[in-house]
Amino acid sequence: MAAYPSLPQHIGIIMDGNGRWAKQRGLPRAEGHKAGVKVFERISEYAAALGIPCLTFYAFSTENWQRPAAEVQAIMALFRRQLDEMEARWEENERKRFRIRYIGDLEPGGPVPEDIIRKLRDMEARARDKDKTIVNIAVNYGGRQEILRAARRAAALAAHGALRPEEISEADLEAGLYTAGQPAPDLIIRPSGELRLSNFLLWQSAYAELWFSDVLWPDFTERDLDTALEDFSRRHRRFGDIGDPPPSSLSF
């Protein structure tokens, strides 16, 4: 296992290219998503073994509902199966001590089926006391939607007199984000050849380093993550200054 002079405290990963991977092999797109889940599991474990404290995986966006109905249904079925498998392997998951969190619009009455929401919340509750890597899984997630949610929270507090509108701070907005209390991502990884964030962690990634690869997500390996981390360790992060950044005030 590689050693690095510096490691990110939080990595965001856009799991992209599943459908193209399947199409290249003459398979249904759902097979690409199945292959992508296996890579998610492997990369989560490898990153945790390296000592990275926080990971966020983009699993299903607010825009993904526009995909063909059959593909969306297959993805929802895959979520159900994956959650059932996690339940069946709970003792193994306990040893990993991952704190699993699901972020996104998962309110009852929304587009995510309620049986899936119940399973997600149950899994979160069972993993609440785990003290190793936080693994955020973004489901029905959109960065703009998240910022809007945080702004509405701050506006509601102001309307009730708990905040003065002119005194609303970045910290007040951050308190309403799904990732509140976690370090901001310092590295965003996107495989598949696309060069954009696609509405992922828009607020949190303001100073994140971006790393892109042509590898499709189902083909992404530990070596690809190593390559991203090697590149990250060589970058000089100035945060708008001209010299070395001040020590981070974040604790984890």
Give yes or no: 129 in active site.
no
Superfamily of domain 10-142+183-233: Decaprenyl diphosphate synthase-like (3.40.1180.10)
Burial of 120 (C-beta count, 10 Å sphere; 0-12/13-18/19+): buried
- Residue 96: predicted pLDDT: 84
Annotated catalytic residue, options 18, 64, 115, 214: 64
Per-residue model confidence (pLDDT) at position 246: 45
Q: Is 124 exposed, middle or buried (0-12, 13-18, 19+ CB in 10 A)?
A: middle
Residue 147 pLDDT exceeds 70: yes
Q: What ranges do the domains of the chain cover? A: 10-142+183-233
180-198 pLDDT, tens digit per residue, is 999 999 999 999 999 999 9
Rounded to an integer, the average pLDDT of 21-31 is: 97
Residues facing 139 on adjacent strands: 60
% pLDDT > 70, the chain: 93
Separation of alpha carbons 201 and 147, rounded Å: 9
From 16, 18, 93, 224, active-site residue: 16
Q: Which residues contact 126 (CB under 8 A, 6 or more apart)?
A: 90
- The answer to whether residues 174 and 146 touch, using CB atoms and an 8 Å cutoff, is no
Cβ distance 39 to 217 under 8 Å?
yes
Rounded CA-CA distance 9/182 in Å is 9
pLDDT tens profile 201-245: 999 999 999 999 999 999 999 999 999 999 999 998 776 665 555
Active site residue 16: yes
Is the whole-model pTM more than 0.85? yes
